[in-house]
Every structure is written in structure tokens, then in C-alpha cells.
Structure 1
Amino acid sequence: MRRTTTAILLAVGLALTGCGNNHDDAKTAAKPHASPTVDKETAYLDAAHEITFNGSPSDAELLAYPESWCAALDEGHSVAWLLGEGDLYPIGDEWGTVKQDAYELVVAGVKAYCPGNLDAVKAELRASGEY
């Protein structure tokens, strides 16, 4: 009698917790696992922090550029325009960067914020011979 009661309780416990149900395990195994994503701000800042600046720009100063770059690129402007007459060269009151590093920052911003423009940006920079 004791063995029968134990077996019944064990079976009920397994049924309630889903253990021993291969059908549910198969469904779980078949679901794709989402890969961790990095938000665009973090991706951009991680890349920006690897760039050498004359001075120390704050994250807020660095974040002021990517959306403006993307908007201008979406309007058909070039990287040369961004960093020239577009007045979107990455420089602040107490910091700045050389053109090569500015290009790297633009690429990082475009990659994170408007990746659809990335191929055109890289092509333009390569064609300039400066990237």
C-alpha cells in the first residue's frame, strides 16, 4: 500500500511539473534562443571609447552626432559634406579628433544608428583614399 501511494504521488508530481513529458521538452528545444542584443547607443559608445581624442568628450557630446549624421545621409549628403559644410565634425569646446579618427567615429555611428547607409559611407571613405 505504501509503495502504491508513493508511486501515485510521484506520478502526480511529475505530471504537475511537466517532468517526464518529452512532448514539452521537444517544443522547448525547437524554439530558437534569442541572442543578446546591444542597443545602438552602447554599440556606438563602445566604439567611440576606442578612438583617440584631443581631450575627453563626454558620452553626451559624442551622442549628439549619430542621429544628425544619419538624417543628413538619408537626405543624400556625403561624409565629406557631414564633416565640412554640414558642420557635423566631431569636435567640442575642449576636445576634438583628427580626420582619420573622425571617419572611424562616423562609421561607428552609422553602423549603430543607420546601418543601411554603412556600405555607401565605407565606399565613399575608401574612394577618398583616406580610410
Structure 2
Amino acid sequence: MRRTAATVLLAAALALASCSNSSDESKAAAKPRPSPTIDKAGQFITASQDLNFSGRHPSSDELLAFPPKWCKELQAGHSVACMFDLTGPDLYPYAADWGMKKSDAYRLLVAGVLGYCPKYADQVTQELRESGDY
């Protein structure tokens, strides 16, 4: 009899535990999970690692100065040609002791736009394709 009573109690305890587990699981499943944070600076710097620089490789800080400026100019309605023109805002990625070919500069620009102002990505890639340089 004791064995039967213990078995019944054990079965009841397991049933209650499994109910609360499934309830907890459904509550956890119902809660929205936060989306992972995108490290736009890290992604941009990673994208720059595959590019060819003449002279020294620029520091991360030097490169990270460009995307916000590019986005500001795109928001103002400027084209890539205007941004990279020496007589315009002159936002071509270079410095006194480093530089890059136009094709790499365009790849860097696209990486920056994708990370920092993706709403301009289609506009930028379309312009670059139409120019035949991308």
C-alpha cells in the first residue's frame, strides 16, 4: 500500500512538474527575443580588410570617419561622383600616406552605406553600376 501511495504521489508530482515546464516553455516562447545588435563599425572594418591600400593600411579610426560623412552627403542629395570629386566635398578615402584604387574605394563606400545608412544602398549601387566602375 505504501508503495502504491508513493507511486501515485510521484506520478502526481511529475505531472505537475511537466505542466509547469510546458507552461514555462510556452511563456518563454511567447516573449519576444531581442534581435542581435549589429556592430556596424566592426562590419565596416572587416570589409576594409580585403581591400588593397597603397602606402600604409589606415587605422580603424581613420576609416570610420568616412561613413557618417558619406551618409550626410547622400542625405543632402549628393551623388557618389560629387562626393568623390576633388572639387566637391572630397570624401574619397585617402590620406597623405595611404590611398586606394577607385574600385576598392567604391567597395568601401558600399560597405559603409550598407552599415550606416542602408536606405541609400540601392541608390549608390545603381549609380556605381551605371558609371561602369562597379
Give the TM interval when normalised to the shorter protein: 0.7 to 0.9
CA shift at 1:35, angstroms? 4.6
Confirm or deny that 1:59 pairs with 2:60: yes
Q: Secondary structure at the match of 2:44?
A: helix
CA shift at 1:38, angstroms? 2.5
Residue 87 of structure 1 corresponds to which residue in structure 2? 90
Amino acid corresponding to residue 72 of structure 1 in structure 2: E
Confirm or deny that 1:101 pairs with 2:104: yes
Residue 71 of structure 2 corresponds to which residue in structure 1? 70
Amino acid corresponding to residue 51 of structure 2 in structure 1: I
Normalising by structure 1, we get a TM-score of 0.82
Residue 45 of structure 1 corresponds to which residue in structure 2? 45
- Root-mean-square deviation (CA, aligned residues, Å) is 2.5
Say how many residue pairs are matched: 125
**C-alpha separation between the residues in 2 aligned to 1:128 and 1:76?**
18
Residue 125 of structure 1 corresponds to which residue in structure 2? 128
**C-alpha separation between the residues in 2 aligned to 1:46 and 1:68?**
19
Amino acid corresponding to residue 74 of structure 1 in structure 2: Q
- Percentage of pairs with the same residue: 45
CA shift at 1:27, angstroms? 1.8
Normalising by structure 2, we get a TM-score of 0.80
**C-alpha separation between the residues in 1 aligned to 2:107 and 2:33?**
32
**C-alpha separation between the residues in 1 aligned to 2:97 and 2:61?**
14
Answer 1 or 2: which has greater strand percent. Answer: 2
CA shift at 1:33, angstroms? 4.2
Q: Secondary structure at the match of 1:125?
A: helix
